[in-house]
Structure 1
Amino acid sequence: MGSKEKTHEFSLNKLEIDAGSYSSVWHKRLQNWETDGVNARIWNRDPSIWDEKHEAGTEVFELTDRLGWLELPGTMIAEVAALTGFTEEIIRAGFSRVVVLGMGGSSLIAEVWAEIFGVAEGFLPVAILDSTHPQRVARLVAAEELETTLFLVASKSGGTLETLSFFNYFYQQMARLHDNPGANFVALTDPGSRLEELARTIKFRKIFHTPPEVGGRYSALTFFGLLPASLLGLPVALVLAQAQAMAQACSPGVPATANPALELGSFLGEMVIAGRDKLILILSPAIKPFAVWLEQLIAESIGKSGLGLVPVMVEYEDELPFHDYTDAISSDCVYLFIRLQGDDNLFLDQALSQVQIAGEPVVSLRLTDISGLGQEIWRFEMATAAIGAVLKINPFDQPDVEAAKIGARQAMSAWQENGSLPEPESLFLSSVLTISGSRHFSRVNDLKSALATFVKAARPGDYIALIAYLPRTEELRQVLQRLQKQLQSCCRVPVTLGFGPRFLHSTGQLHKGDGNRGLFLQLSGGLQEDLDLPGSDYSFATLIAAQAQGDYDALLAKERRILALHWHEKEVESAILGLIEMIKPLHLPEFTLPDSEST
C-alpha cells in the first residue's frame, strides 16, 4: 500500500501573496535568507536561525530537539499498514465510537478531521473531550454505548492533568461494566512517559509511541492525528502523500525565494514587525474547522517575548476589511483566505475582493481537493517556524503556559487544605453574580459600570479575548458568538472566543506572552451538575474553577486587563443574552467615562 501511494503526483495548492507597500521589505527578507542558506539550515537543525547566541551544531532544549516534524510525511507512510490493521481490529471487536481524551495539539487535529470529513461508511465516529466542565464530561457518561467506546488517551508528556483526570474517571466507569476495562483504552504518548507506564500496568489495548522530537502542536502527522483519521476512515496515505508533496517543494536544496512555506512565513513575520499582528482567517465553509488547528499552531508558537500574531476566525456575516472606531480601515490586520474549489465560496470571494480593493495585505491559498489540507498542515508548520526566524523567537516552546498551571495547582492545594478555593478580590458581589477584575476596573461597582468600563478600555491596536469556562455546547457557543459580534461592533477591534481550559493549550500562551494588546473578559459558572474524580478529594467542578482562577491570576501577574464575571446560577445563556443588550448602546466613541476608569 505504501509503495503504491509513492506514485501519486500532486499539484501544489496555489499561494498568492499581495504584499502591497510591504513588498520590498518582504522580498529583501527572502533574498537575504537565500544568501544565508536559511532553508537548508532549518533542515539541519541550526539553532542560530532562531537564536543567534547559539552556534550551529549545538543542541538546544525545545528547539533543536523539536524539528522532527520536517520528515514526518516520509516516515509516517510506513505506519499506514499498521494503522489500517488496528482500525480493522477495532471494527471487528464491535466498538461503536471513539473518544479522544486530550488537550491542545494532542486532540485538536482529531476534531478537525471529524468535523471536516465526518465518518466514512463502515468506520467509527470520533468525538473529542478537552473540557473539564462536568456538564461536558457528563454528556459522554450518559451515552448508551459507553461499553463499546474506545478511548484514545492522548498526552505527549504523559502527565497532562486534564487528560489523566478524564482517564481516571472513565476507567472507573468502564470497570463497573466489565472485567477488563483496559481493553477500551489506547495510549498515545512519548516513549517512557508516565502514561506509558500506566498503560502497561493496567493492560491498555495498545500503546502508540509519538516521536519525542515533535512538539504537541506540530504533531498532526503523528499518531495523534493519524490514528483518529484512520478510525474515521480517512485516506491517511493520501493525506501523507499530499504533505510529502509540500515537504519536497520546500526541501533543503530549494532556494528561499522559491520555497512556498518560507514565502508565507517570511511575509507573516514581516507583518508582525510592521504592527499587523492580527491574522484574519477566512476559510471555505467545508474546511472552516481547520482554522482551529491554525489558531493553536500560530498563537502558541509566536505569542511570546512581547510579540504575537493573533488568529481571528471570521464569521460569514462579518464585514471586511475591519474598521476602527473612526471608521478608517484597521491598520493592524493581515488577511488569510483558504479557498476550497467547488465549495460555497460566495462570502469568501466577495470578502477577498473587498480586501484587495482596499489595498490590504492578503494571503490567498487555493485547494482543488480537500485532501490538500495535508499540504497545508506541513506548509503552516514550516511557515510558523519561519515566522519565528524573522522575529528571533523560539517557535517550539511555550514559556508562559506553565504560569496558569501553577496557579491552578496552588488553588487546588488551597482546596485540599481548607476545603475551598481562594477567591479573588471582588468588585461586586450578589447572590447571582461575582465581578472581579484587574486594577484597570477598580472603580466598577455593578455590572453596568463594569461593561461600560470594559468597552471604554478598548484601544486601537487591541484585541478582545472572550475566555469562557463554560460547557462547550452548540447552544452556548451560538450565544457567545452573538456576544463576540456585539463587542466587535461596539469596540471596533477583533474579538476572539475560546473555551477553557482548552484554550490554555492554545491561545493561552499568546495571552500572556504578547505585547499586552489583549483585553480579556472571563466568563464562568453555569454548573448544573458535578462529577467526582475517582481517587481524589475534588470534583470536575473544583478542577475547572481552579483552572479559571489560575488563568485569572496569571493574567493579573502579567498586568493584563481582565474583567471576570462568575454566575452562581445554573443557567447562564439568559445572563449572557442580557450582557449583549447592556453592551449595545456602548458604541465608541459615542459614550465617555472619566479617563481614570480605563487606565
Structure 2
Amino acid sequence: MVELFLTAPSQHEYEGALKNAIDSGIASRIAENDPTEWGPDAVSEASIRLSWTGLAESSRPLIAEIIELRDSLGARGLDHVVLCGMGGSSLAPEVICHTYGVPLTVLDSSQPDMVRSAIADRLDRSIVVVASKSGGTIETDSQRRAYEKAFTEAGLTPTDHIIVVTDPGSPLDKEATAAGYRVFHADPNVGGRYSALTAFGLVPSGLAGADVGELLDQAASVQDNVALDGADNPALRLGVLLGVAHRHRVDKLVMADQSRHGFGDWIEQLVAESTGKNGKGILPVVVPFENAVNFNPSTADSILLSIDADDAPEAQSGYGIAIRAALGAEMLVWETAVAVAGSVIGINPFDQPDVESAKQAARDMLGGAGEVPTPDFTADGIDVYGAEGTTVADAVSSLFSQLDLDHGYVALQVYLDRFDHADFAGAREIVAQRTGRPTTFGWGPRFLHSTGQYHKGGPGTGVFLQVTGDPVEDLEVPGREFTFGSFIQSQAAGDAAVLRERGRPVVRLHLKDVPAGLRLLRTVLAGKGDE
C-alpha cells in the first residue's frame, strides 16, 4: 500500500495536467516499455533503459542464488560484507541494508585513508562485492586492485572473497570471469540509477542479510497500480506534481527522511541525474532528521517532501508531498514518477550527457594533459583556489555574494574521509541558515555519480564550495601509475574546471591539516570570520 498526500497552489492546473497525463496513457506505455514518450531524440536511449518496470518478476531467480551463496560464505566464516561501487551501484544497497537492520560497509570513495580503513577492517572475514555497470569505473577498479593486493599479502585467495556484479560483456565481466571470480550479471537494459531491484541492489544487500525476496514482493504489490492510467496511480500523481512545479521554477525538492537512513540520497541521484540537463531539472536537497518538521530554511522555489509522514508539509511555494510505503514499493513509485516528470518537463530522464566531462578532466590531469591548478593564496594552512582576498573568510564571502537569492543554491562538495569526518555534514545546516537558500552536501567523489549531472547540465544557479585535504597517508593503486591521493585530487580539480567552463562559480579550499582546517571552516561558514 502507498499513502501519498500532495498539495499544490493551483489545484486546477495540477488536475488539468494529471488529466492530460491520464489521457495520453503515459503510465501504461512506460510499463509496456514504449520508448517514444520523451521525444524522437530520446528513443535510442529509452529503448534500452525501461526494463526496470518489470524487475519485481525478472529479478526473482536471483534470490535463490544469493541465499545459496550467502550460506556457503557464512559456512566458511565470511560475514563482513563490503561494497565497492559508485552511484547507483552503492546508494540502493545502503538504504536497503539500513532498512532491514543489517550491516554493510560501503566503500564509495577514492580517498586513501578511507580505502585503507575499509581494507584493514576484518579482512579475513570480508566478502567484497565489486559492482560496476560499465565495468570501467575507475574508483571501483582501483578499490578492487587494492583489495586483491591486500588479500594476497595476507595469504588469502582473492577469488574466495571477491564477488563481482556487472553488465554482461563488460570489461570487468570478461576480466573477472577469466580470473575465476563469481560474477552476477545485471540487466543491461536498466540504467544505474534505476538498478535498485537488479543484481546491483540485491546481491550486496542479500549477502549482508537483507530480505531481498520481500523487497521484490513489495515492488510487485504496486506494479499493476503504477501502470494504470488513472488518478489512483500514486506514481503518476507524484510525477505530474513535480513537472507542474518545475514549470513555475519551483525546482528544489527539499526532503526530510524520518525513518530510512540513505533513502534521501537514493532519491537524490534518481531525481538529479534524471532531470538535470538542457538547462532544466529538479535539485534534491536532503535535510537531516532533526529538520524533519521545520525544513529550515524553506524557500518559495522549494517543494517540501516528508518521507514516511502522515500529511504533506506546508511549503512556502505551496507544493508539498508526503509519502508512506514499504521500501520496494516506494522505489518503484519514485522511478515511475521521475520518468513521468521527465515527460512533463521535456527532457530525457535516461541519459546523463554531462557526467563524462568531469571524468575526462580528471583523466587528463592524471595523465599530465590537464592544467594543474595553483592556489590563488594560502591562509591558516588552507590553499584557496578560485577566489581573491587574504583570508578564507574572504573567499567564502566572495562565493556567497554571487548567490542568486531567488533561485540559487549552494553545493558543498567535500572530498574527505567520510568514515572519519562524517560530522562535518552538519556544515550544510550552517550554510543554509547563513544564506537562506537551499544547500546540498555531497561527499566527493561519490556525488559525481549522483548530483554531478545536475550541477553541470541543469540550471546555472548554483555556487560551489569544494573542500579537499591532504590524507594522513597516501595509498598506491596496484598496477596503476597514480595513487589514490592523486586520483581524488584530480577528480576535484577536474570537476571544478568543468564547472568553471560552464560559468559556475567555484571556490576550492585545500586543507593541509584536515582536523584544524575543518574547525576553522565551521567558524568561517557560520559567518564569524576567521576568529
Query: TM-score w.r.t. structure 2 length?
Result: 0.94
Structure 2 residue matching 1:214: 3-state secondary structure: coil
Letter of the 2:354 counterpart: D
Does residue 213 (structure 1) correspond to residue 189 (structure 2)? The answer is yes
Residue 315 of structure 1, CA deviation: 2.5
Residue 64 of structure 1, CA deviation: 1.3
Residue 568 of structure 1, CA deviation: 2.2
Question: What is the aligned partner in structure 2 of residue 6 from structure 1?
Answer: none
Does residue 131 (structure 1) correspond to residue 109 (structure 2)? The answer is yes
Letter of the 2:430 counterpart: Q
Structure 1 residue matching 2:59: 3-state secondary structure: helix
CA distance in 2, matches of 1:226, 1:74: 13
Question: What is the aligned partner in structure 2 of residue 283 from structure 1?
Answer: 257
8 Å Cα contact 1:169-1:533 kept in structure 2: yes
Residue 178 of structure 1, CA deviation: 3.2
Does residue 196 (structure 1) correspond to residue 173 (structure 2)? The answer is yes
Letter of the 2:233 counterpart: N
CA distance in 1, matches of 2:374, 2:14: 48
Residue 90 of structure 1, CA deviation: 1.4
8 Å Cα contact 2:36-2:43 kept in structure 1: no
Distance change (3 Å), C-alpha of 1:583 and 1:199: closer
Q: Which of these residues, 492, 497, 503, is aligned with residue 553 of structure 1?
A: 497
Residue 425 of structure 1, CA deviation: 4.5
Does residue 238 (structure 1) correspond to residue 206 (structure 2)? The answer is no
Does residue 172 (structure 1) correspond to residue 112 (structure 2)? The answer is no
CA distance in 1, matches of 2:481, 2:374: 26
Distance change (3 Å), C-alpha of 1:499 and 1:584: closer
Question: What is the aligned partner in structure 2 of residue 303 from structure 1?
Answer: 276
Map of 1:370-519 to 2, 5 A cutoff? 372-414=326-368, 422-429=371-378, 432-437=381-386, 441=387, 443-460=388-405, 461-473=407-419, 476-481=421-426, 483-519=427-463
Question: What is the aligned partner in structure 2 of residue 361 from structure 1?
Answer: 319
8 Å Cα contact 1:15-1:260 kept in structure 2: yes
Question: What is the aligned partner in structure 2 of residue 98 from structure 1?
Answer: 81
8 Å Cα contact 1:468-1:499 kept in structure 2: yes
CA distance in 2, matches of 1:275, 1:525: 36
Let me know the Cα RMSD of the aligned residues: 2.1
Does residue 330 (structure 1) correspond to residue 276 (structure 2)? The answer is no
CA distance in 2, matches of 1:44, 1:240: 19
CA distance in 1, matches of 2:441, 2:125: 34
5+ long unaligned stretches in structure 2:
none
Question: What is the aligned partner in structure 1 of residue 246 from structure 2?
Answer: 272
Letter of the 2:3 counterpart: K
Residue 238 of structure 1, CA deviation: 1.4
Structure 1 residue matching 2:372: 3-state secondary structure: coil
8 Å Cα contact 1:49-1:392 kept in structure 2: no
Residue 422 of structure 1, CA deviation: 4.1
5+ long unaligned stretches in structure 1:
1-11, 120-124, 324-328, 341-348, 588-599
Does residue 575 (structure 1) correspond to residue 524 (structure 2)? The answer is no
8 Å Cα contact 1:490-1:586 kept in structure 2: no
Distance change (3 Å), C-alpha of 1:359 and 1:138: closer
8 Å Cα contact 2:303-2:320 kept in structure 1: yes
Distance change (3 Å), C-alpha of 1:359 and 1:332: closer
CA-to-aligned-CA distance 1:13-47 (integer Å, 9 cap, x gap) = 2111111x232222111211222222222233333
Count residues in correspondence. 527
Does residue 140 (structure 1) correspond to residue 111 (structure 2)? The answer is no
Query: TM-score w.r.t. structure 1 length?
Result: 0.84
Structure 1 residue matching 2:431: 3-state secondary structure: helix
CA distance in 1, matches of 2:396, 2:327: 41
Distance change (3 Å), C-alpha of 1:511 and 1:380: same
Question: What is the aligned partner in structure 2 of residue 68 from structure 1?
Answer: 51
Distance change (3 Å), C-alpha of 1:250 and 1:448: closer
Residue 96 of structure 1, CA deviation: 2.6
CA distance in 1, matches of 2:99, 2:215: 13
Regions of 4+ moved over 4 Å: none
CA distance in 2, matches of 1:271, 1:96: 46
CA distance in 1, matches of 2:528, 2:16: 45
8 Å Cα contact 2:382-2:517 kept in structure 1: no
Structure 2 residue matching 1:33: 3-state secondary structure: helix
CA distance in 1, matches of 2:526, 2:101: 38
Distance change (3 Å), C-alpha of 1:317 and 1:148: closer
Residue 377 of structure 1, CA deviation: 0.7
Question: What is the aligned partner in structure 2 of residue 530 from structure 1?
Answer: 474
Letter of the 1:580 counterpart: R
Question: What is the aligned partner in structure 1 of residue 95 from structure 2?
Answer: 112
Residue 81 of structure 1, CA deviation: 1.8
CA distance in 2, matches of 1:81, 1:448: 57
CA distance in 2, matches of 1:222, 1:181: 25
8 Å Cα contact 1:480-1:576 kept in structure 2: no
